[in-house]
Amino acid sequence: MLIGVAVPVPGLGLLTYSVPDEVAPPPKGARVSVPLGTRTVVGVVAVLDAAAPADATKLRPISSIIDATPFLPSTVVDVAMWTGDYYAAGPGEALTMTLPPAARRGESDAFRMITVASNVAASNVQRSEVRGAKQKAALEILRERGTLDLRTLDGLGISRATMQSLERAGLVRLTEEIAERDPFIGAAGEDRWAVGQAPELDRALTAEQTDAFAKLAAWSEERRFRGVLLQGVTGSGKTELYLQLARRVISHGRRVLMLVPEIALTPAVAGTFRARFGERVAIQHSGLASGERHDQWHRIRRGQIDIVVGTRSAVFAPLESVGLIVVDEEHDGSYKQDESPRYNGRDVAAVRAQKEGALIVFGTATPSMETAVNAETGRYEKLRLTRRIFDRPMAAVRVVDMRTEYAEFGADVILSRTLIEALTDRLAKKEQSVVLLNRRGFSTVVFCRQCGTSADCPHCSVTLTYHRASKRVRCHYCNYAASLPKVCAACGGEFIEQSGFGTEQLEHVLRERFPEARVARVDRDTIRKKGAIAAVLKDVSAGKIDILIGTQMIAKGHDFPEVTLVGVVSADVGLGLADFRASERTFQLLTQVVGRAGRGDKPGEALIQTIHPDHYSIRAAAGQDYDTFYKQEREFRERMLYPPMVAMISLVIKNRSADAAMRDGADLARRIRARLPDGKVLGPAPAPIAKIKDEHRVHLFLKGKHRTAMRMAVLAALADRPEIRRRVTVDVDPVNVL
């Protein structure tokens, strides 16, 4: 028998291997050990009864079968294969991505922990049987605590060898058992995400929710693919619909995938589902400790889980019989992976729903252009929630023209008078505020006042950002860091200045202005420590924070009932980017963050500071007017032939030499044009960020109506130039074109 095996090699297609006649063939989705060149690797069986290759003399047999039963569900294998093909990555990369790290090495499905227990009473221990301080210390600890695992003892400085010596002496017994690490429970046994509370009851639905639920429930019972855009204003109760729909689907014997765009949203969403459904909820995201993620994955695989909550990678969770997939905040760019395979979790989720015969719900207040067009053209159903729960009013929004502030007080103003007054008022009333600035760091530019030279990254075409807490300048692309320069590298001048500002400086300004306020900041610099984001969100919910500062990760999905004010600093920070999605991102971010205000009993207000008060994305966001924004943005995309009106593929050609990168780009463009007479090939041209990590970057863009033909033309051109394949990034349906 011949089988097609996906091996963990980028860009490599399925490899055909033979299974010896005397060996029972492995099933689809099983792991096998196979020879590859001079080494042996772990692959996944993707095709049974594969066709014989042209040169059958080179056919090699598998080395061994690791799994007698499918390790991955057949549906997950099919979805991963589709992903590898569609995103031009190859099946090996895609299928490998679906496995936890230990499984990629062929290890067993469970973590086995060695536990140690005292074997005799203290009075029976003879001094001569115990040698050395370590053995005595180990016995003392065991008498106090009863049972411990070897890793805990190792952390106390007591080795496995010590315990094995005590076991030979008959003083302890070592037991091997399966141990599952629970990400919901902290090291001290505390509930991390509101775990342990009694399961909540389903809440009464509004009239709008009731109508939407009736349709969603009926569609879920059809047991066939159906896509639905659930467009609900912020605070309209989309999450409650997800919860009640999940209960209905589970009651009919099927399971649920709940996707969120960012790790920052996972604690709130997972905690909510855990409170409603108990222990049959698992989480999957890269922020978990490797052991926790491993154990959660295997609980899912063993069928012990009904609901999986996770970020984009959770779309490949080994969940059987999926009946509902929810893609919350479906518009968010975080669903797109920026390394190979460069898949979009939202779109892969739609493919999985098709293969599962499941209902998929795309939930958002600000639909992506792609999903909105799919709903407009009838590919997806569309449901709208236009009112907040309890008929709470939307936040009152004011746009602050910062040009007036700069004219009166200078260009260094961060907080307008209007925002300062509003924050002062909220503090006096003991109400909470959120202030958004979608740029981290203290100062965005460090420069010499004498010659004007800025401190640039030596490896990337960007300026270095100053981080005051660490007293270092840092590149946000390659992570290069150095001490804040004292003299100019160009002229030796000693007048080093800073300009621009990020969340770190905003926090400093707010603490100085409001010393009595309890201020917290959420950005990539402050949430590196495990559990940091959950801790801050808990403090906000508990009323321990007066002003929460953050980047876009605080703008979406969070429910803060006591927040009555939202301030947006530099609302137009993204409008100047050389990206056709800049207006869409700006509108979505502003609309989402404005929606954090007034979600409780008290009315909310939002202040948007900008130097472009008349830009259509800012005007529409201030009016919470999606329809007007969509109409204008769609007209722009149609005129300029941008997605979703056409398909797009982005190629980035990298080389240590700028000239060589441009030559390679020109050659690829010529080869692609020859194979794609009906398509449009733009470039080559230097990328907006012309150098990252010492590699010069050149862009090519393909536009057209036939995505498959475009992809095939790209792959064929690259096959002609295999020596540059690893230096070319192929991004199908790009979200970021910088």
Domains and CATH numbers, the chain: 2-104 (3.40.1440.60), 112-178 (1.10.10.10), 207-389 (3.40.50.300), 392-442+501-636 (3.40.50.300), 647-732 (3.30.70.600)
Q: What is the mean pLDDT of residues 628-646?
A: 96
Q: Distance between CA atoms of 627 and 365, rounded to whole angstroms?
A: 11
Instruction: Give the model's confidence band at 118: pLDDT under 50 very low, under 70 low, under 90 confident, else very high.
Output: low
Strand residues in 53-186 grouped as ranges (E): 60-61, 64-65, 112-118, 147-149, 172-178
The torsion of the CA quartet 346, 348, 353, 355, rounded to 10 degrees, works out to 170
Angle between helical axes of 345-356 and 74-86 (0-180°, round to 10): 140
**For residues 266 and 346, which has the higher predicted lDDT (pLDDT)?**
346
Output Rg (C-alpha) for the chain, integer angstroms.
28
Is the pLDDT at 693 greater than 70, yes or no?
Answer: yes
Q: What is the DSSP string of 182-229?
A: -TTB-TTS-BSSSTTSPPPPPPPPPHHHHHHHHHHHHHHTT-S-EEEE
pLDDT at position 129: 61
Nearest to 239 by CA among 111, 413, 417, 364: 364
Residues 101-140 as b or e (16 or more Cβ within 10 Å = b): ebbbebeebbbebbbbebbeeeeebeeeebeeebbeebbe
Instruction: Give the model's confidence band at 124: pLDDT under 50 very low, under 70 low, under 90 confident, else very high.
Output: very low
Structure tokens at 620: 């529409």
Q: Distance between CA atoms of 630 and 366, rounded to whole angstroms?
A: 9
Q: What is the mean pLDDT of residues 215-237?
A: 96
For the ranges 246-250, 387-391, 511-515, which has the lowest average pLDDT?
387-391
Structure tokens at 53: 């290759």
Specify the pairing of strand 396-401 against strand 322-328: unpaired
| CA distances, 191 to each of 188, 522, 538 (Å) | 9, 22, 12
Q: Distance between CA atoms of 524 and 522, rounded to whole angstroms?
A: 7
Q: Distance between CA atoms of 251 and 588, rounded to whole angstroms?
A: 35
pTM value is: 0.88
**351-355: long-range contacts (C-beta < 8 A, 24 or more apart)?**
351/79, 351/82, 351/83, 352/75, 352/79, 352/257, 352/315, 352/322, 352/325, 353/225, 353/227, 353/322, 353/325, 354/225, 355/75, 355/78, 355/79
Q: Which residues contact 635 (CB under 8 A, 6 or more apart)?
A: none
Q: Distance between CA atoms of 539 and 530, rounded to whole angstroms?
A: 16
Is the pLDDT at 115 greater than 90, yes or no?
Answer: no
Nearest to 436 by CA among 606, 620, 234, 269: 606
Structure tokens at 693: 């990590």
HSE on the CB side for 330, CA within 13 Å?
Answer: 30
- The letter for the amino acid at 493 is G
Nearest to 19 by CA among 4, 7, 1, 6: 1
pLDDT at position 5: 96
Q: What is the DSSP string of 323-358?
A: EEEEEETTT-GGGB-SSSS--BHHHHHHHHHHHHT-
Is the Cβ–Cβ distance between 360 and 325 less than 8 Å?
yes
HEC-encoded secondary structure of 519-532: EEEECCCCCCCCCH
Taking phi first (over 0 means left), then psi (-120 to 50 degrees means alpha), and beta for anything else, what does residue 622 get?
alpha
pLDDT at position 198: 46
Instruction: Give the model's confidence band at 179: pLDDT under 50 very low, under 70 low, under 90 confident, else very high.
Output: low
pLDDT at position 116: 65
pLDDT in tens, 534-585: 889 889 989 999 999 999 988 877 888 999 999 999 999 889 888 999 999 9
Nearest to 383 by CA among 234, 213, 498, 541: 213
Residue 407 CB neighbour total at 10 angstroms: 10
Is the Cβ–Cβ distance between 293 and 520 less than 8 Å?
no
pLDDT in tens, 36-73: 999 999 999 999 989 888 777 789 999 999 999 999 99
Instruction: Give the model's confidence band at 281: pLDDT under 50 very low, under 70 low, under 90 confident, else very high.
Output: very high
pLDDT in tens, 128-139: 666 788 888 888
Is the pLDDT at 394 greater than 50, yes or no?
Answer: yes
- CA dihedral sign of residues 466, 471, 473, 476: negative
Structure tokens at 292: 């926790």
Q: Distance between CA atoms of 8 and 46, rounded to whole angstroms?
A: 13
Instruction: Give the model's confidence band at 154: pLDDT under 50 very low, under 70 low, under 90 confident, else very high.
Output: confident
Structure tokens at 687: 């990328």
Element of type H or E holding 398: strand 396-401
Instruction: Give the model's confidence band at 405: pLDDT under 50 very low, under 70 low, under 90 confident, else very high.
Output: very high
| CA distances, 620 to each of 232, 393, 613, 640, 718 (Å) | 16, 17, 11, 21, 43
Burial class (CB within 10 angstroms; exposed 0-12, middle 13-18, buried 19+) of 638: exposed
Average pLDDT, the chain: 90
Is the Cβ–Cβ distance between 334 and 585 less than 8 Å?
no
pLDDT at position 111: 52
pLDDT at position 324: 98
Chain centroid to CA 496:
37
For the ranges 179-193, 306-320, 586-600, which has the lowest average pLDDT?
179-193
**For residues 299 and 182, which has the higher predicted lDDT (pLDDT)?**
299
Q: Distance between CA atoms of 80 and 85, rounded to whole angstroms?
A: 9
Taking phi first (over 0 means left), then psi (-120 to 50 degrees means alpha), and beta for anything else, what does residue 430 get?
left
Q: Residue 611 has what DSSP assignment?
A: S
